[in-house]
A and B are shown apart, each in its own frame.
Chain A
Amino acid sequence: MNVPGLSRSLIPDRTWNFLMDATVFAGLFALVYSIVAVARYWFSAPVAAVQISLSPTAIPRYAFYSLVRMIVAYLLSLAFAIGYGYFAAYHKRVEGPMLAVLDILQSIPVLSFLPGVMLAMVSLFPSHQVGVELGSILLIFTGQVWNMAFSFYASLKSLPRELVEASRVYRFSNLQRFFQLELPQGAIGLVWNSMVSVAGGWFFLMACEMFVLGKRDFRLPGLGSYLQSAASAGDATAITWGIAAMIGVVVLIDQLVWRPAIAWSDKFKQEQVESSSAQSSAVLNLLRKSPLLTRLRDGVTTPLMERVYLSASRRPPETQSRPSNWQRSVVAVVGLIALAGVLYSVFQGLGLLKGITRAELLTTFESAGATFLRVIASLAIASAWTIPAGVAIGFNPRLARIAQPLAQIAASVPATALFPVLLLALISLGGGLNTGSILLMLLGTQWYILFNVIAGAIAIPSEFREVAGIFRFSLIDRWRIVILPAIFPYLVTGLITASGGAWNASIVAEYFHFKGQVLSTFGLGAEISSATDAGNFALLLLSTIVMATLVVSVNRLVWRPLYRRAETRYRLEA
């Protein structure tokens, strides 16, 4: 309690605020400087082949470059996701096709975009480093944007009807509607999906920063390329430093960005009654107290927004006008051009596929089978340990308090960073990559299942467990009648995410540059990677199509029916 007038009790507050201001100021300064630094580097002439230094002193610089790449890619994704979701939700005619496109793009492995994106970017900016940089950023972008777009679209589609009507009857401008209704409604979904997306970005960072495309060797200074170079050189110290740096960066971002973001987004919950379990974040509280930020808001942002709202409100109010002929013809022309482009690329792609030999086709299908089996095996192993562990954690609050933060940190470590270590262990144990890649896939995907199972176990009403106790259910009955059905919806959600992740991970798990040589095993992922390495576009296209088709059809034929069943039969109604 602060008693006004008692200056002693005010001191700690003030010091904090001063510190906070200093930090914010330093942060702004650093931001300006880094923009300049990045720009200088990007617009320099391309360095023939960047030499990646394995000295630990180079790590801060590399971490900084990687971080900038991630941030730019993330901001791009956010803007694109909001735009795409908004357009799809409000344009009935294109809604269906736009969603189908999202669904398919989501199932194409990131690295299959690599050659196309890279070659396009490098030819756009032939004389600057920025071409390769943009290519790498676009790659990270393709890995994280789709689920965010889906999330924003879904939240627009689930706007409460009466809120929409209120915004119409009170004549909100489109702008006011966006800031007071649509964006808040989508905020929670966007924050959570951003977390997942950025984690995916870290996962593929190694692949996105350093790769061989045919005869060309692309390298960008960054944490990912550092780790990859360290792995190729077999330099254990460098690997350790790299992993430590990456974990440090990831954990720091989690604490400084995502925790505050989650706590902040809590106010956008569509709840009528206050719930007890509010998220909190010390960083967010500090930021809220910062006088500098307050002054910035009162002095700059608020008046600016006022101006914008005023001009928006002056515009003629919503009229249900049909699109004019002019607008319609523009849309038609754009649609036609897009269609022509699609047809042309399909035609070209088919031409490319003509070069595929029968043997290659057969191999592709066989390798698809091999990877399919590996995906199933990794899901099975992951379920085998995460279901009992998750249920145990969920049933035991004390265990949950200890285990959950640990698991969260473990999950946030990009599994690709650990691959070199695992590979070293595997090789010393004498195992090959054939089974080893299963382990690598497992490393990236088991967390999705674990977290969902924990959430499901926590959601089981205690009455269910009491019933099982009173009627002395056997252990088997307890699982069969109570636990498994109750966690089923959560389990399915976890499995869907995990299976998508496993397919994607197969590309990096089945094919690896290590100690100057290529370690690989027979599989679709390895085929995609080696086709990229060799610049064999026909094979790359074929294997990508096979993988995307497999993922989409497994989704349609297995996961969706299971999900529907989970939604109808195994839902715990409130």
Chain B
Amino acid sequence: MPEPLIEARQVEKFYDQPSDNRIQVIAPLDLAVYPGEILTLLGPSGSGKSTLLRILTGLSEASGGQVLWHGSPIKGPCENVSIVFQSFALFPWLTVLENIEAPLKARGVSPEGRFARSLRMADAVGLDGFENAYPKELSGGMKQRVGFARALVVEPEVLFMDEPFSALDVLTAENLRSELLELWEDKKMPTRAVFIVTHNIEEAVLLGDRIVVLGKNPGRIRTNFRVDLPRPRDRKHPRFTRIVDYIYQVLTQPDTEHALPATGPGSPKTDSRLKYPMLPHARTGGVAGFLEILADHNGREDVYRLADLLSFEIDDLLPIVEAAALLGFVKLSEGDAEITPAGLEFAHADILRQKELFRGAALQHVVLLKQIKSALESKSDHTLPDEFFHDILDEHFSEEETLRQLETAINWGRYAELFDHDSERKRFFIPEETPGPPQNMEVGTET
């Protein structure tokens, strides 16, 4: 094994809460980037993959553990890395050439040297003729080429890319991916390793010599394996689809390794209450649509094929699948989703009946909705301020996640007609004249 360029040892990220709890974003993990490889880091949203990228580049500090750059710990941003950003991060007031020159300027390269090097790099990524344009005059694909040129002009040892293709349309992304591979294969870029963060599974398999899959809540490595398919890779090749399928399996499998290793002496307090069940951020309409499509596919389908069929990326589809599974409408096994009898009934019901079924399932399976409903019922005026639930949740989630949890809960609660929310007064309440559960529904009373 060669020396790694960058190595993370027991790196973790958490936010301390005022109470005894803390919010773990990334559980302690080891990861190394070796010369000569393209490493793709794959994970659903909320798995901390962008955070991990920022820790490895030295942009943000880890809460624990160490990042080694050629064997010695880093302080501040790394000497010789570059980042290609999802949103391009070009300076709108600089021309294409000035944008590419900016990092050289920071290194004190003479004007002539700067000009020659950036012009060469602009040509290499196909920007000839656009040197004097401003970023706003360029299409998304051209903007990202500027991002590439700016990243490569400083001849970084490791090129980091943070979802570089996800802001582009499908065709442009495909085009840029193959050009990136061409530069890499032909050794036209001076870079020794490439580290790509993505949430697109096919992209990870197309590009990666090694694939690392992160799980979420907290982020941790679920699998880390080499891909030795020859390039250019064929999406239809059975070995390709087998790898994609395998990743889907890993991602849809319920988390088995709940018990996290202790984070070291003095912090045994962390994980006792960490596992508050998390609402997947899916819209109710999405769940209903997913169940109807699944029913049309004879009730069982490969999640990967469904994603392909709907041209969804995992970040779009996974929350919906998770929500359906949480509600007991589907069962997941081996990357397949199978509809349950309850799910099938839901899929074939009319709108009002769907709401009833959803209400029943929600009260049976979703802790947060159950809690909100019973808390509201226990009050004589049937109303409670947002802060009440906010305080319950922020023990377990970051501020941002807490707000998203509440937002999803409101969406589900409204759909199920369990409760309503007044966004101006910031209060949850049960409407007075709920047309509400018909007589034959006995849900909503048990907790």
Contact = CB atoms under 8 A, between A and B. Distances in A.
Contact of A176 (B57, B88, B102): B102
Contact of B136 (A169, A173, A273, A319): A273
Interface string A302-325: 000010011001100111100000
A55 interface: no
Interface centre among A169, A173, A319, A568 (most CB of B within 10 A): A169
A288 interface: no
Interface residues of B, number: 36
Contact of A180 (B77, B94, B424): B94
Given A170-B103, A171-B106, A313-B106, A184 B93 contact: yes
A573 interface: no
Interface string A147-165: 0000000000000101101
A270 interface: yes
A163 B61 CA distance: 18
B385 interface: no
Please classify the interface of chain A as helix (H, G, I), strand (E, B), loop, or mixed, using the class held by over half of its residues.
helix
Contacts of A466: none
B85 A318 contact: no
Interface string B143-158: 1000000100010000
A10 B424 CA distance: 65
A274 B137 contact: yes
Interface centre among B82, B92, B134, B135 (most CB of A within 10 A): B92
Contacts of B41: none
Interface string B37-54: 000000000000000001
A171 B103 contact: yes
A317 B74 CA distance: 13
Nearest to B104: A170
Given A168-B59, A181-B91, A274-B137, A313 B105 contact: yes
Contacts, number: 88
Nearest to B424: A569
A176 B105 contact: yes
Contacts of A180: 91, 93-94, 102
A84 interface: no
A268 interface: yes
Nearest to A164: B89
B2 interface: no
A463 interface: no
B424 A568 contact: yes
Contact of A314 (B59, B93, B108, B154): B108
A15 interface: no
B83 interface: yes
B59 A169 contact: yes
Interface string B69-83: 000000111100111
B107 interface: yes
B111 interface: yes
B398 interface: no
A533 to B, nearest CB: 49
Interface in A535-574: 565, 568-569
A272 interface: yes
Contacts of A569: 424
A269 interface: yes
Nearest to A306: B111
Contacts of B82: 169-170
Interface string B409-422: 00000000000000
B85 A268 contact: no
A272 B136 contact: yes
A271 B137 CA distance: 10
Contact of A271 (B106, B136, B150): B136
A172 B135 CA distance: 20
A271 B103 contact: no
B94 A166 contact: no
Nearest to B109: A313
Interface of B: 54, 57, 59, 61, 75-78, 81-83, 85-89, 91-94, 102-103, 105-108, 111, 134-137, 143, 150, 154, 423-424
Interface of A: 160, 162-163, 165-166, 168-173, 176, 180-181, 184, 267-274, 306, 309-310, 313-314, 317-320, 565, 568-569
16 contacts: A162-B85, A162-B87, A166-B85, A169-B59, A169-B78, A169-B83, A170-B102, A170-B150, A176-B105, A176-B106, A267-B134, A268-B93, A274-B136, A313-B106, A314-B108, A318-B76
Closest 10 CB pairs of A and B: A313-B108, A170-B103, A162-B89, A166-B89, A184-B93, A162-B85, A274-B136, A172-B106, A310-B108, A171-B106
